[in-house]
């Protein structure tokens, strides 16, 4: 196209662009008319058809004249260079003449066709890149987004469907090209936007699995299963179910097949996928020539005789560009490490959260290396030894980003000279250097590098036009890449603002910010930050400061509005302002996060500007928001659980209104990290009532995660309750912490807490809570095989529940009595009690309790030798647990179902079911995982002939 070429953009809202710039078409009818012409480009369009499309069955009397007026307006718009679009009259109609490629939809279809051809030619990298190029033409998810005419809507539906088809093909190609981590976030968002599109779920499950995140892949399948059942009453398609089974059994066919040549025969063979965990490299990386050369020399150097892995540690101040250098170089040499590239952000200097522990990091690496969970020990030394064994005789690049000290890094070091480790840290990590790592210290970019940095980010020749101003900006930023990036972003978004004025603003701001002066070199970075901060409106600046009170890794629009004490819509506008000013990022749609330096700067500003009372009230509003939303959500998830009394939410802090239990579970899942952080944050800042009440409302959510995480929350909440002297809260939390201890195998600790809970309940004459404690005592006795004591505790609970009219408690106690009888061998009595429990729970509508009681009935039938009946009851329990999203309940019932399948002679089904249970139990750190491993170990290996022993009980 020529310099003044006109282009029609329909992949989004309709736009007419001249020389790449959109020109406004304000009136709706002329826009619709242009869209109709574009549907029939270079083909005559009848006047009658146009009128029908524009006005439908009741056109105005002046339709003919009005149409001619609209055509006249369009012709004026389309007057451009010679050879451009022309709108001509033709046989009681019109024709728009233009090159096909002037319409972005045509270019998209052409590029998509070429991409499909490349994919058919087994060139996923090339095909994926072409499809991604085509998708880049879209300016939203809907074509002709602002046009309402029947013919246009029909075409828009076809284009939108084509976009989704191309997007699926593109993501599939990117997965086949070995880029799972770069597509997972996009797939997560797409499955929310298009929840019934199974192809997207298939890719998400496959991508998660290939990224070493098997548990999350299985969780995605669970979400889809529940969604299809609720919305359509159907199950996932057979191919998706087969993928689910393949993930469960670590099917090697799911690994990425990378073409390779067989040196013996010259044919193509396949090798399994390798981890490629590097984050994307900075788009405008500049400079660091000497440091890159030093890293290159590591590859050229001969391996040390000690056999230790080659290592380098990149050190420097915050914002100096350590991560950018490490990731840029790692991408540059990735092909030298054919067995993979491992990456972890150790968060050694996170201003709010805790650093990643060595155990968490090495486990993540083991999962990325496709290690089955049952082979990963809970002991750190054993994990590290397995990790080193897996990397032996391989050539792998390991990037350990943001390390705090040598202790955090030591277990993550490979043991062989064929691997290379690249560490970044604000500390020198002398222990690592003493072990032979090469230190690479970073300082600010030199003036020439800083000038190139600005030139690449501030385009259109502006730095060349104002070289002295660009030099002063680089000097004011002291070559700090993060500071330069912020200034460059500001300049790029304000082309009317001269670089000279930017440089002056940087220097002039220093005297006004002496209050933030510090001997740390980052002081000039504060100047840069302050310059962006001072450009904010007063409300946005206030929110920026107060967001430092938020304890989580990121924050939603609703939570940010609570911090500010404003409406959701106003809060959203303020977040947009902060994001545009590069003071916040939006890593996923609707969730906002700080860079750690900006968070620290925000906290300093809050201390300097806002009163202690202002900051405390912001924290109170945030905790009120989380508490009241979580409490309402918990009531949706399990309306039969005993509630707690909350004070009325203060004005201006409305909780999120969730539609139903499924929406509540989604909210809990997305907010989980922020909610648990808020519990600890509340305790640290003296909000003890918020602390224990918020923890209590998270009970159903925490039940779905690791027991170690629950334990930490309950312990914090217990301290808060004791600080308050709230015996009711302490009694409740004692039971919850006892349950966690019990599941972790800490039986005596659990019993001591239950005794404490009983004493508190009796002192306050709270007979319902006393019944709860007795019932939990019964469960604990059962786990220890003391069935007489278990029966006695459950009976006491039933008596108290009946005396207080607590129907849910009565049903659960009946189930507890039935379970105790079944454990004692009196299965006839067990059936009677469990059947009575199920009937009462069905009448109440308590699905959680129903699932547990159905599991008990299944077990009793199993013990009576009625395996078909047992399997049927277990499957009913599983359906409820699955619908409730209660994975740990599923795990327990899976174990029991497998026992029945094995007793029924179906060892293959039992093996599959035990494995499903084991995956969940290992994920949550449940003490029963070892028992399931023993059951699996007692089976014959897959493929063996088996004997009559297969029909005998498998005992752990």
Task: Tell me the CATH number at 68.
Answer: 1.10.10.10
Residue 855: band (very low, low, confident or very high) from pLDDT cuts 50, 70, 90: very high
Residue 625: band (very low, low, confident or very high) from pLDDT cuts 50, 70, 90: very high
Angle (CA) 765-770-773 rounded to 5° is: 155
Residue 368 lies in a domain: yes
Q: How many Cα atoms occupy the beta-carbon half-sphere of 438 within 13 Å?
A: 19
Q: How many Cα atoms occupy the beta-carbon half-sphere of 350 within 13 Å?
A: 16
CB 841 within 8 A of CB 811: yes
Residue 25: band (very low, low, confident or very high) from pLDDT cuts 50, 70, 90: low
Asked if the model's pLDDT at residue 533 lies above 80, the reply is yes
- Regarding whether 455 and 315 lie in a shared domain, the answer is no
Residue 644 lies in a domain: no
Write down the pLDDT at residue 633. Answer: 92
Residue 651: band (very low, low, confident or very high) from pLDDT cuts 50, 70, 90: low
Give the span between the Cα atoms of 723 and 692, in whole angstroms. Answer: 11
Residue 464 lies in a domain: yes
Write down the pLDDT at residue 568. Answer: 86
Give the span between the Cα atoms of 562 and 228, in whole angstroms. Answer: 34
- Regarding whether 31 and 81 lie in a shared domain, the answer is yes
- Regarding whether 467 and 416 lie in a shared domain, the answer is no
Pick the last residue of a domain from 52, 77, 99.
99
Write down the pLDDT at residue 597. Answer: 65
Write down the pLDDT at residue 755. Answer: 92
- pLDDT tens-digit profile of 732-742? 999 999 988 88
Write down the pLDDT at residue 180. Answer: 52
- Phi and psi at residue 7, to the nearest 5°: -135, 145
Tell me the CATH number at 328: 3.40.50.300
Tell me the average pLDDT across 823-846.
Answer: 90
Q: Which residue has the tokens 């968070």?
A: 599
Residue 953: band (very low, low, confident or very high) from pLDDT cuts 50, 70, 90: very low
Tell me the average pLDDT across 236-257.
Answer: 78
Residue 93 lies in a domain: yes
- Regarding whether 453 and 437 lie in a shared domain, the answer is no
E-strand stretches of 512-564: 555-556
Give the span between the Cα atoms of 839 and 837, in whole angstroms. Answer: 6
Tell me the average pLDDT across 834-839.
Answer: 92
- Regarding whether 437 and 300 lie in a shared domain, the answer is yes
- pLDDT tens-digit profile of 317-373? 667 888 889 998 998 888 888 888 999 888 887 655 578 889 888 988 888 887 776
Asked if the model's pLDDT at residue 954 lies above 70, the reply is no
Write down the pLDDT at residue 647. Answer: 74
Write down the pLDDT at residue 489. Answer: 77
Residue 202 lies in a domain: yes
Least confident of 564-568, 699-703, 745-749: 699-703
Mean pLDDT of the chain: 83
Tell me the average pLDDT across 575-598.
Answer: 78
In sequence order, which residues have a C-beta less than 8 Å from that of residue 805 and are 6 or more positions away?
none
Pick the last residue of a domain from 534, 559, 582.
534
- pLDDT tens-digit profile of 377-388? 878 888 999 999
Residue 730: band (very low, low, confident or very high) from pLDDT cuts 50, 70, 90: very high
Strand partners, 422: 312, 399
Write down the pLDDT at residue 853. Answer: 92
Residue 402 lies in a domain: yes
Q: Which of 738, 717, 846 is nearest to 783 (CA)?
A: 738
- Regarding whether 456 and 340 lie in a shared domain, the answer is no
Give the span between the Cα atoms of 527 and 509, in whole angstroms. Answer: 6
Write down the pLDDT at residue 182. Answer: 54
Least confident of 90-104, 504-518, 776-790: 504-518
Total Cβ atoms within 10 A of residue 676: 23
Rounded to whole angstroms, what are the CA distances from 653 to 488, 522, 560, 571, 648? 37, 36, 10, 12, 10
Could you tell me the residue range of the domain that residue 212 belongs to? 180-255
Least confident of 139-148, 248-257, 377-386, 831-840: 248-257
- The pTM assigned to this predicted structure is 0.54
CB 174 within 8 A of CB 271: no
Asked if the model's pLDDT at residue 454 lies above 50, the reply is yes
Write down the pLDDT at residue 955. Answer: 36
Residue 952: band (very low, low, confident or very high) from pLDDT cuts 50, 70, 90: very low
341-345 and 258-261 strand pairing: unpaired
CB 117 within 8 A of CB 20: no
Residue 944: band (very low, low, confident or very high) from pLDDT cuts 50, 70, 90: very low
Tell me the average pLDDT across 391-419.
Answer: 90
Residue 759 lies in a domain: no
Q: Which two tokens stand for residue 471?
A: 């030099």
Rounded to whole angstroms, what are the CA distances from 89 to 75, 93, 149, 719? 11, 6, 22, 82
Q: What is the 3-state secondary structure (H, E, C) of 730-749?
A: HHHHHHHHHHHHHHCCCHHH
CB 56 within 8 A of CB 29: no
Write down the pLDDT at residue 222. Answer: 85
CB 146 within 8 A of CB 13: yes
Pick the last residue of a domain from 481, 509, 534.
534
User: Which residue would you say has higher pLDDT here, 281 or 465?
Assistant: 465
Residue 137 lies in a domain: no
In sequence order, which residues have a C-beta less than 8 Å from that of residue 698 and are 6 or more positions away?
630, 634, 668, 675, 676, 679, 713
Asked if the model's pLDDT at residue 201 lies above 80, the reply is yes
Write down the pLDDT at residue 446. Answer: 86
Rounded to whole angstroms, what are the CA distances from 738 to 710, 714, 886? 11, 9, 20
Write down the pLDDT at residue 950. Answer: 37
Tell me the average pLDDT across 303-320.
Answer: 73
Residue 574: band (very low, low, confident or very high) from pLDDT cuts 50, 70, 90: very high
Tell me the CATH number at 197: 1.25.40.10
Structural domain count of the chain: 5
In sequence order, which residues have a C-beta less than 8 Å from that of residue 373 and are 6 or more positions away?
214, 215, 367, 918, 919, 922, 923
User: Which residue would you say has higher pLDDT here, 546 or 136?
Assistant: 546
Give the span between the Cα atoms of 584 and 751, in whole angstroms. Answer: 48
Residue percentage of the chain with pLDDT more than 90: 31
- Regarding whether 452 and 365 lie in a shared domain, the answer is no
Alpha-helix runs per DSSP H in 140-288 = 150-176, 180-193, 198-210, 214-232, 238-248
- Regarding whether 310 and 416 lie in a shared domain, the answer is yes
Asked if the model's pLDDT at residue 41 lies above 50, the reply is yes
Tell me the average pLDDT across 495-510.
Answer: 71
E-strand stretches of 382-455: 397-403, 420-425, 438-441
Q: How far is CA 752 from the centre of its chain?
A: 38
Give the span between the Cα atoms of 877 and 799, in whole angstroms. Answer: 27
Q: Which of 87-91, 288-292, 364-368 has the highest mean pLDDT?
A: 288-292
User: Which residue would you say has higher pLDDT here, 332 or 531?
Assistant: 332
Write down the pLDDT at residue 266. Answer: 38
Residue 523: band (very low, low, confident or very high) from pLDDT cuts 50, 70, 90: very low
Strand, helix or coil for residue 419? coil
Residue 260: band (very low, low, confident or very high) from pLDDT cuts 50, 70, 90: very low
Tell me the average pLDDT across 711-716.
Answer: 92
CB 522 within 8 A of CB 597: yes
- Phi and psi at residue 420, to the nearest 5°: -130, 135
Give the span between the Cα atoms of 586 and 577, in whole angstroms. Answer: 12
Asked if the model's pLDDT at residue 306 lies above 80, the reply is no
User: Which residue would you say has higher pLDDT here, 281 or 37?
Assistant: 37
Write down the pLDDT at residue 22. Answer: 63
E-strand stretches of 338-419: 341-345, 397-403
Residue 464: band (very low, low, confident or very high) from pLDDT cuts 50, 70, 90: confident
DSSP string, 703-717: TTS-HHHHHHHHHHH
Give the span between the Cα atoms of 391 and 664, in whole angstroms. Answer: 42
Q: Which of 23-27, 76-80, 803-807 has the highest mean pLDDT?
A: 803-807
Write down the pLDDT at residue 320. Answer: 81
Asked if the model's pLDDT at residue 272 lies above 50, the reply is no
Angle (CA) 563-566-572 rounded to 5° is: 85
Residue 539: band (very low, low, confident or very high) from pLDDT cuts 50, 70, 90: very high
- pLDDT tens-digit profile of 894-936? 999 999 999 999 989 999 999 888 888 887 677 778 888 888 8
Angle (CA) 79-81-86 rounded to 5° is: 50
Give the span between the Cα atoms of 119 and 126, in whole angstroms. Answer: 8
- Regarding whether 293 and 248 lie in a shared domain, the answer is no
- Regarding whether 302 and 415 lie in a shared domain, the answer is yes
Write down the pLDDT at residue 520. Answer: 38
- Phi and psi at residue 189, to the nearest 5°: -65, -40
Give the span between the Cα atoms of 341 and 179, in whole angstroms. Answer: 12
E-strand stretches of 417-533: 420-425, 438-441
Residue 269: band (very low, low, confident or very high) from pLDDT cuts 50, 70, 90: very low
Total Cβ atoms within 10 A of residue 352: 17
Give the span between the Cα atoms of 726 and 760, in whole angstroms. Answer: 10
CB 77 within 8 A of CB 25: yes
Write down the pLDDT at residue 313. Answer: 94
Give me the helix-helix angle, 557-564 and 612-637, nearest 10°.
140
Write down the pLDDT at residue 683. Answer: 95
- Regarding whether 416 and 301 lie in a shared domain, the answer is yes
CB 859 within 8 A of CB 822: yes
Give the span between the Cα atoms of 375 and 371, in whole angstroms. Answer: 7
Least confident of 168-177, 479-488, 675-684: 479-488
Write down the pLDDT at residue 4. Answer: 52
Write down the pLDDT at residue 620. Answer: 95
Q: Which two tokens stand for residue 495?
A: 């082309």
Give the span between the Cα atoms of 848 and 838, in whole angstroms. Answer: 11
- Regarding whether 469 and 418 lie in a shared domain, the answer is no
In sequence order, which residues have a C-beta less than 8 Å from that of residue 246 and are 6 or more positions away?
253, 254
């Amino acid at each position: 196209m020529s310099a003044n070429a006109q282009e029609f953009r329909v992949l989004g809202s309709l736009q007419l662009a001249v020389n790449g710039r959109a020109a406004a078409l304000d009136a709706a009818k002329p826009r619709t008319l242009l869209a109709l012409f574009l549907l029939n480009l270079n083909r005559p369009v009848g006047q009658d058809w146009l009128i029908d499309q524009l006005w439908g069955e009741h056109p105005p009397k002046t339709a003919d004249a009005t149409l001619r007026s609209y055509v006249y307006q369009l012709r004026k718009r389309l007057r451009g260079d010679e050879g451009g679009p022309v709108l001509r009259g033709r046989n009681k109609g019109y024709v728009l003449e233009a090159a096909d490629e002037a319409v972005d939809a045509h270019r998209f279809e052409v590029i998509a066709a070429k991409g499909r051809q490349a994919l058919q030619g087994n060139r996923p990298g090339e095909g994926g890149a072409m499809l991604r190029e085509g998708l880049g033409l879209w300016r939203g998810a809907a074509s002709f987004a602002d046009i309402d005419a029947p013919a246009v809507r029909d075409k828009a539906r076809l284009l939108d469907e084509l976009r989704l088809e191309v997007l699926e093909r593109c993501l599939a190609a990117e997965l086949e090209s070995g880029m799972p981590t770069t597509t997972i976030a996009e797939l997560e968002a797409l499955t929310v936007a298009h929840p019934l599109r199974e192809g997207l779920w298939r890719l998400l499950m496959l991508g998660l699995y290939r990224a070493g995140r098997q548990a999350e892949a299985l969780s995605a399948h669970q979400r889809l299963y529940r969604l299809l059942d609720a919305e359509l009453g159907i199950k996932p398609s057979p191919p998706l179910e087969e993928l689910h089974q393949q993930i469960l059994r670590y099917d090697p066919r799911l690994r990425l097949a990378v073409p390779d040549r067989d040196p013996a025969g010259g044919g193509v063979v396949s090798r399994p996928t390798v981890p490629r965990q590097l984050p994307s490299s900075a788009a405008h990386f500049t400079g660091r020539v000497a440091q890159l050369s030093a890293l290159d020399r590591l590859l050229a150097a001969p391996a040390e005789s000690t056999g230790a892995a080659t290592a380098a540690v990149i050190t420097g101040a915050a914002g100096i560009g350590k991560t950018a250098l490490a990731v840029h170089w790692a991408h540059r040499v990735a092909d030298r490490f054919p067995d993979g590239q491992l990456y972890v952000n150790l968060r050694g200097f996170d201003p709010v959260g805790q650093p990643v522990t060595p155990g968490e990091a090495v486990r993540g690496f083991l999962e990325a290396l496709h290690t089955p969970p049952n082979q990963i020990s809970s002991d750190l030394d054993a994990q590290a030894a397995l990790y080193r064994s897996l990397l032996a005789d391989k050539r792998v690049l390991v990037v350990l980003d943001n390390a705090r000290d040598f202790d955090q890094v030591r277990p993550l070091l490979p043991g062989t000279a064929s691997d290379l480790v690249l560490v970044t840290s604000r500390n020198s990590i002398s222990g690592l250097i003493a072990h032979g790592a090469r230190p690479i210290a970073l300082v600010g970019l030199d003036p020439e590098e800083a000038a190139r940095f600005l030139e690449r980010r501030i385009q259109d020749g502006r730095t060349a036009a104002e070289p002295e101003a660009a030099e002063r900006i680089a000097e004011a930023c002291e070559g700090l890449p993060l500071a330069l990036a912020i200034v460059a972003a500001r300049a790029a978004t304000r082309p009317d603002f001269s670089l000279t004025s930017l440089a002056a603003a940087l220097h002039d701001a220093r005297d006004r910010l002496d209050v933030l002066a510090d001997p740390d070199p980052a002081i000039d970075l504060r100047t840069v930050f302050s310059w962006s901060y001072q450009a904010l409106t007063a409300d946005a600046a206030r929110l920026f400061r107060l967001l430092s009170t938020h304890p989580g890794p990121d924050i939603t629009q609703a939570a940010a509005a609570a911090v500010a004490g404003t409406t959701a819509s106003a809060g959203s506008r303020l977040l947009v302002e902060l994001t545009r000013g590069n003071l916040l990022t939006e890593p996923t749609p609707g969730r906002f996060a700080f860079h750690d330096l900006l968070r620290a700067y925000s906290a300093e500003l809050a201390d300097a500007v806002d009163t202690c009372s202002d900051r405390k009230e912001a924290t109170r509003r945030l905790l009120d928001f989380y508490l009241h939303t979580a409490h309402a959500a918990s009531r949706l998830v399990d309306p039969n659980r005993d509630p707690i009394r909350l004070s009325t939410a203060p004005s201006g802090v409305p909780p999120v209104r969730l539609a139903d239990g499924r929406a509540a579970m989604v909210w809990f899942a997305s907010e989980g990290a922020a909610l648990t952080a808020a519990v600890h944050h509340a305790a640290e800042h003296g909000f003890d009532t918020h602390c224990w009440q918020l923890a209590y409302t998270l009970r159903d959510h925490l039940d779905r995660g690791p027991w170690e995480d629950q334990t930490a929350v309950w312990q914090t909440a217990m301290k808060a309750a004791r600080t308050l002297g709230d015996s009711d809260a302490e009694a409740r939390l004692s039971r919850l912490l006892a349950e966690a201890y019990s599941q972790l195998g800490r039986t005596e600790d659990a019993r001591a807490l239950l005794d404490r809970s009983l004493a508190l309940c009796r002192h306050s004459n709270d007979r319902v809570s006393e019944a709860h404690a007795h019932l939990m005592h019964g469960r604990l006795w059962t786990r220890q095989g003391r069935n007489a004591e278990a029966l006695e505790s459950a009976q006491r609970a039933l008596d108290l529940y009946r005396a207080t009219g607590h129907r849910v408690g009565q049903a659960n106690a009946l189930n507890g009595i039935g379970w105790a009888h079944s454990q004692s061998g009196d299965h006839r009595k067990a059936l009677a009690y469990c059947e009575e429990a199920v009937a009462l729970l069905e009448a109440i509508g308590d699905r959680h309790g129903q699932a547990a009681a159905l599991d008990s009935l299944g077990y009793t039938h199993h013990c009576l030798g009625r395996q078909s009946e047992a399997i049927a009851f277990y499957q009913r329990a599983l359906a409820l647990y699955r619908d409730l999203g209660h994975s740990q309940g599923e795990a327990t019932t899976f174990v029991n179902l497998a026992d029945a399948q094995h007793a029924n002679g179906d060892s293959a089904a039992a093996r599959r079911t035990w494995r499903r249970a084991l995956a969940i139990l290992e994920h949550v750190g449940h003490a029963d995982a070892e028992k399931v491993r023993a059951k699996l170990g007692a089976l014959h290996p897959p493929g063996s002939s088996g004997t009559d022993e297969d029909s005998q009980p498998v005992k752990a």
